[in-house]
């Protein structure tokens, strides 16, 4: 399961990562977010040592929500070398996420 990170950990875990990072901005009360969780766990295994996956709770990490203009959960943002490369909003299919990741690998 992707690690849950806070604002304090974000710069080190995401922006300074040697690997591309897929950040899942989620909410505990969000049904689509809960549906996405098993998909993200599978992707974490499939892309082990190629892409890092992290989860950011939008209810507690308001600074990151504002910084990255998160308007809805779930929102997936792909970072590479500390920069946002792409994002997906809402419940998406595994193939959509895979296509997003494969663009930068």
Q: Is the pLDDT of residue 80 over 90?
A: yes
Residues 6+ apart with CB under 8 A from 69: none
Please tell me the predicted confidence (pLDDT) of residue 46.
97
**What CATH number is attached to the domain comprising 43?**
3.40.30.10
Q: Which domain holds residue 56?
A: 3-102
Mean pLDDT computed over 81-100 = 96
Residues 16-41 have a mean pLDDT of 96
48: pLDDT strictly greater than 90:
yes
How high is the mean pLDDT of the chain?
97
What pLDDT score was predicted for residue 53? 98
Per-residue pLDDT, 1: 85
The catalytic residues are 30, 33
Q: What is the pTM of this model?
A: 0.96
E strands along 6-91, which residues? Answer: 21-26, 52-57, 75-80, 83-89
Look at residue 2 and tell me whether its pLDDT is greater than 90.
yes
């Amino acid at each position: 399961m992707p690690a849950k990170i806070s604002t304090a950990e974000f710069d080190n875990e995401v922006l300074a990562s040697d690997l591309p990072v897929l950040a899942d901005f989620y909410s505990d009360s969000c049904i689509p977010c809960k549906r996405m969780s098993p998909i993200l766990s599978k992707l974490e295994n499939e892309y082990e040592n190629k892409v890092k996956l992290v989860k950011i709770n939008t209810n507690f990490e308001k600074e990151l929500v504002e910084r990255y203009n998160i308007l809805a959960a779930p929102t997936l943002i792909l970072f590479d070398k500390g920069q946002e490369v792409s994002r997906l909003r809402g419940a998406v299919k595994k193939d959509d996420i895979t296509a997003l990741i494969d663009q930068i690998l």
